[in-house]
């Protein structure tokens, strides 16, 4: 990093070289304005660490209202000092230096450490005709350090952790969710506030965003000191993440698709009969009937004769149900007719192409399905006015499929479609933000007793404010796809959107001709489910074959037992997970955490793409290659067979700066080293950071079955530690009014003392008396997913401070 003395030399050089061409600037309430080389430049402070940069042709008026940023510029204390051509703006945390001759900007800390600089003459504002509107194509180039890792940019399926040396054509798709935001290991972030097709490029020439349409260059620079700090600033700008209900963190079962209400209800019955925990079931598409009735938001399929009974049957078994809704409508639906009347339907090829449900597609019978205009508030009202009829049935949430939306065989003219906010080209990438936001805002307005829960296939900056969990699209079932999910989810989370998941097992089974009979697929499914147990939503889903646990055998068989083990582990971890979700809402944290978030100084940890932290204590190292299949005899093709005769292993890097415990054995390791762990089918390498305090809940069939009145509290010695146990009513928005409680556990490693704080806050149904069964890992190992009942000490707790020495 550049030090203060070096930074002053740079400014002096700029002063000497440009002193004969000094320019002027104008101070404003929130920053400064300047006109440089026919370009109007404005720097606006949103807080002492976040600035907005606007660049446009001088004399070209425009109005720019952000779809993502909801915060307004704030009155910020800053100083301004000019030296020749360089004007330096300084707050308590950030220096911004504008060259009044070239228009380039340099960002540094108040200690003089260089963070980022624009490339000289790196701005481009080129005229562009956007469907008859005279606008601009806009670009800004930056210069990064040669070996500086950056992260974010949304979700891609390339398996890369650091996003250096890439070119991304940023147009929302089924598998790729593009968010024009990156953050650096240096502790800063850049959000490019543009929604049109954008190319992000990083190469030896520089790092740039180039958008097809824009009234101006418009980006935000934020300095947070570390990844959590950057995300906190991003959410301050674009919205905070609300709490999800506790039940959403349980296990979810789905498939493409349950073809009747009896089939769906029977799945829940089977889980209850088997004693395997389940909290959610999902109904996929075509409950509405034919493709001409696409997304009618009504049960017109005769196999769903009594939807109210279906929902009630699910609820009676203490499970929840969400249902597939889309962002397009068939020509025979009521919504299509209402939307068409106000000109809120777009004209481009989308899914499904044919009115016939037979495969392959019959294009001579076009479906007539059209995507709606979610940028139009009246269209969003129409959408909800029909959806609320399903909400009245008691459906618990929404699966918003194709929220990018599906755009098949795109043509340039498709982007000329007019939306409420201009051409589709101008606002293309914000489609998921607008459609998800429309549903969330409407539901929240009519019901505060049920938290909004939306499962969606696409996202854009700011979507975290709408109670949505994004899944990674229709990925193909393969080991490479599983491996790519890890970096995809981590980079997505690093944009500030904390809730993400993937189809456990992959959506398409095209590689596996024998489907569930293929032992390699069964192994892949188990490993994917093990990974899924440590994502913000644990959801089994896919096409081509059912995925319910009983499809993989019965209790006592390897695959079944491994699946059941990790579902149960997920439920034992619910107190830890729910508290981590509160940390997201209250403290701008993240649930899936790339290693850079907690170990930025460990260079060996910065580009690892197959392990991550789940919460701030658990290091997860998924198995991402086949270990227990081998070629068998086959007449025409090789058939894989199971081979468990040799136990395989996986190597995991444990970051420096901490000691680590093997979750399963309690063996302790020093950080900064690689360790090899045997990985039989039911073992995912899982490590706990020394100093961690982890609460484990009871064995249950659904999330709210039992009170947390007898939690096991595991202490992992070796460092001081703290954990805040969060509890509330598990649903509704009363927590926003302070209706919740927290209990802080503090471990003093030197004194070997656990202090449990006074309970802070209260809520209806709160436990006034409870027991904490404290296990000091290593003293009494008490490890693995089984609750041992062998506590080192049992603490009776009534809400008053307790300190216990071990």
Sign of torsion over alpha carbons 666, 667, 673, 675 = negative
Catalytic residue among 303, 340, 416, 474: 474
774, 793 contact by CB (below 8 A): yes
CA dist., res. 39 & res. 105, Å (int):
14
Q: How many CB atoms lie within 10 A of CB 698?
A: 17
In sequence order, the β-bridge partners of residue 181 are: 191
User: Residue 45 CA to chain centroid, in angstroms?
Assistant: 27
Catalytic residue among 404, 520, 583, 611: 404
User: Residue 566 CA to chain centroid, in angstroms?
Assistant: 22
In DSSP notation, 337-376 reads: HHHHHTT-B--S--S--BSS-SSS--TTSB---EEB-TTS
User: Residue 675 CA to chain centroid, in angstroms?
Assistant: 29
CA dist., res. 572 & res. 4, Å (int):
50
Let me know if 358 is exposed, middle or buried by CB neighbors in 10 A (0-12, 13-18, 19+): exposed
> From the DSSP assignment, how many helices (H) and strands (E) are in the chain?
13, 48
Residue 401 a catalytic site member: yes
Sign of torsion over alpha carbons 697, 698, 703, 708 = negative
CA dist., res. 577 & res. 571, Å (int):
9
Report phi then psi at 134, rounded to 5.
Answer: -80, 115
H or E segment at 13?
A: helix 4-18
Residue 236 a catalytic site member: no
What DSSP designation does 245 have?
P
Of 408, 410, 407, 395, the residue nearest 432 (C-alpha): 407
Let me know if 131 is exposed, middle or buried by CB neighbors in 10 A (0-12, 13-18, 19+): middle
In sequence order, the β-bridge partners of residue 540 are: 253, 504
CA dist., res. 696 & res. 783, Å (int):
11
What DSSP designation does 310 have?
H
Catalytic residue among 118, 176, 236, 401: 401
CA dist., res. 521 & res. 530, Å (int):
14
Reply yes or no: is the peptide bond before residue 87 cis, omega within 30 of 0.
no
Let me know if 567 is exposed, middle or buried by CB neighbors in 10 A (0-12, 13-18, 19+): buried
Go through 372-401 and write b for each residue having 16 or more CB atoms within 10 A of its CB, e for each that does not.
bbbbbeebbebbbebbeebbeeebbbbbbb
CA dist., res. 449 & res. 277, Å (int):
25
In DSSP notation, 698-745 reads: ---SSTTSS-SSEEEEEE--SS-EEEEEEE--SSSSGGGGTBEEEEEE
133, 422 contact by CB (below 8 A): yes
CA dist., res. 177 & res. 501, Å (int):
13
Where are the extended beta strands (E) located within 459-548? 468-471, 500-501, 538-540
Long-range contacts of the stretch 754-760 (C-beta < 8 A, 24+): 754/693, 754/713, 754/715, 754/803, 754/804, 754/806, 755/801, 755/802, 755/803, 756/795, 756/797, 756/801, 756/802, 756/803, 756/804, 757/801, 758/799, 758/800, 758/801, 759/799, 759/800
Residue 404 a catalytic site member: yes
CA dist., res. 584 & res. 242, Å (int):
8
Reply yes or no: is the peptide bond before residue 360 cis, omega within 30 of 0.
yes
CA dist., res. 86 & res. 24, Å (int):
10
> Measured between alpha carbons, how far is residue 694 from residues 66, 220, 573, 715, 778 in Å?
41, 37, 8, 7, 14
CA dist., res. 46 & res. 19, Å (int):
31
Instruction: Cite the active site residues.
Output: 401, 404, 474
């Amino acid at each position: 990093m550049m030090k203060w003395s070096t930074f002053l030399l740079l400014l002096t050089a700029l002063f000497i070289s440009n002193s004969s061409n000094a320019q002027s600037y104008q101070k404003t309430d929130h920053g400064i304005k300047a006109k440089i080389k026919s370009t109007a430049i404005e720097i606006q402070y949103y807080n002492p660490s976040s600035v907005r940069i606007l660049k446009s042709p001088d004399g070209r008026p425009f109005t720019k209202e952000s779809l993502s940023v909801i915060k307004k510029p704030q009155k910020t204390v800053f100083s301004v000092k000019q030296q020749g051509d360089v004007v330096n703006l300084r707050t308590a945390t950030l220096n911004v230096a504008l060259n009044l001759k070239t228009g380039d900007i340099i960002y540094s800390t108040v200690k003089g450490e260089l963070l980022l600089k624009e490339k000289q003459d790196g701005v481009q504002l080129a005229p562009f005709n956007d469907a008859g509107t005279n606008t601009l194509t806009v670009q800004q180039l930056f210069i990064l350090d040669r070996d500086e890792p950056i992260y974010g940019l949304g979700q891609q399926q390339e398996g890369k952790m650091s996003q250096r040396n890439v070119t991304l054509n940023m147009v929302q798709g089924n598998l790729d969710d593009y968010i024009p935001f990156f953050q650096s290991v240096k502790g800063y972030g850049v959000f490019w506030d543009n929604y049109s097709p954008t190319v992000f490029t990083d190469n030896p020439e520089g790092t740039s965003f180039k958008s097809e349409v824009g009234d101006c260059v418009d980006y935000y620079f934020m300095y947070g000191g570390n990844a959590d700090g950057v995300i906190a600033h991003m959410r301050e700008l674009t919205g905070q993440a609300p709490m999800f209900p506790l039940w959403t963190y349980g296990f979810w079962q789905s498939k493409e698709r349950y073809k009747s209400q009896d089939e769906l209800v029977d799945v829940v019955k089977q889980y209850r009969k088997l004693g395997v925990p389940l909290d959610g079931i999902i109904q996929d598409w075509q409950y509405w009937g034919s493709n001409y009735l696409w997304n009618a938001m009504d049960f017109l399929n005769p196999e769903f004769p009594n939807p109210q009974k279906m929902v009630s049957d699910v609820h009676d078994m203490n499970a929840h149900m969400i249902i597939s809704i889309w962002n397009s409508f068939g020509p025979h639906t009521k919504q299509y007719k209402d939307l068409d009347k106000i000109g809120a339907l777009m004209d481009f090829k989308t899914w499904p192409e044919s009115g016939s449900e037979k495969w392959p597609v019959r294009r001579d019978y076009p479906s007539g399905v059209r995507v709606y205009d979610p940028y139009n508030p009246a269209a969003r009202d129409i959408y909800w006015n029909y959806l609320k009829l399903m909400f009245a049935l008691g459906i618990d949430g929404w699966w918003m499929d194709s929220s990018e939306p599906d755009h098949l065989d795109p043509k340039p003219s498709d982007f000329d479609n007019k939306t409420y906010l201009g051409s589709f080209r101008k606002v293309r990438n914000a489609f998921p933000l607008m459609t998800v936001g429309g549903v969330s805002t409407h539901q929240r307005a009519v019901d505060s007793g049920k938290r909004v829960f939306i499962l969606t296939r696409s996202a854009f900056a700011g979507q975290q404010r709408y109670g949505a969990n994004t899944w990674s699209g229709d990925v193909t079932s393969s080991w490479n796809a599983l491996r790519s999910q890890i970096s995809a989810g981590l980079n997505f989370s690093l944009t500030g959107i904390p809730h993400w998941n993937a189809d456990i097992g992959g959506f398409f089974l095209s590689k596996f001709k024998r489907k569930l009979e293929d032992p390699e697929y069964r192994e892949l499914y188990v490993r994917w489910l093990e990974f899924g147990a440590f994502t913000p939503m644990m959801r089994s889903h896919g096409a081509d074959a059912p995925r319910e646990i009983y499809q993989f055998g019965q209790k006592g068989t390897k695959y079944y037992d491994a699946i059941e083990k990790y579902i149960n582990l997920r439920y034992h971890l619910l107190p830890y997970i729910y508290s981590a979700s509160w940390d997201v809402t209250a403290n701008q944290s993240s649930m899936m955490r790339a290693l850079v978030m907690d170990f930025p100084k460990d260079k060996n940890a910065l580009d690892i793409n197959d392990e991550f932290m789940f919460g701030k204590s658990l290091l997860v190292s998924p198995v991402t290659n086949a270990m227990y299949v081998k070629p068998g005899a086959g007449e025409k093709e090789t058939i894989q067979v199971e081979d468990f005769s040799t136990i395989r292993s996986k190597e995991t890097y444990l970051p420096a700066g901490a000691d680590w415990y093997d979750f399963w054995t309690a063996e302790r390791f020093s950080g900064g080293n690689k360790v090899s762990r045997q990985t039989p089918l039911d073992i995912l390498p899982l490590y706990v950071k020394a100093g961690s305090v982890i609460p484990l809940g009871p064995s249950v069939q659904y999330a709210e079955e039992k009170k947390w009145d007898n939690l096991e509290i595991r202490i992992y010695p070796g460092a001081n530690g703290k954990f805040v146990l969060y509890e509330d009513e598990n649903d509704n928005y009363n927590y926003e009014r302070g209706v919740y409680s927290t209990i802080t556990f503090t471990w003093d490693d030197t004194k070997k003392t656990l202090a449990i704080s006074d309970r802070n806050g209260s809520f209806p149904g709160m436990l006034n008396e409870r027991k904490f069964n404290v296990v000091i890992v290593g003293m009494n190992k008490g490890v693995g997913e089984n609750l041992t009942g062998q506590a080192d000490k049992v603490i009776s707790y009534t809400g008053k401070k307790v300190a216990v020495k071990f």
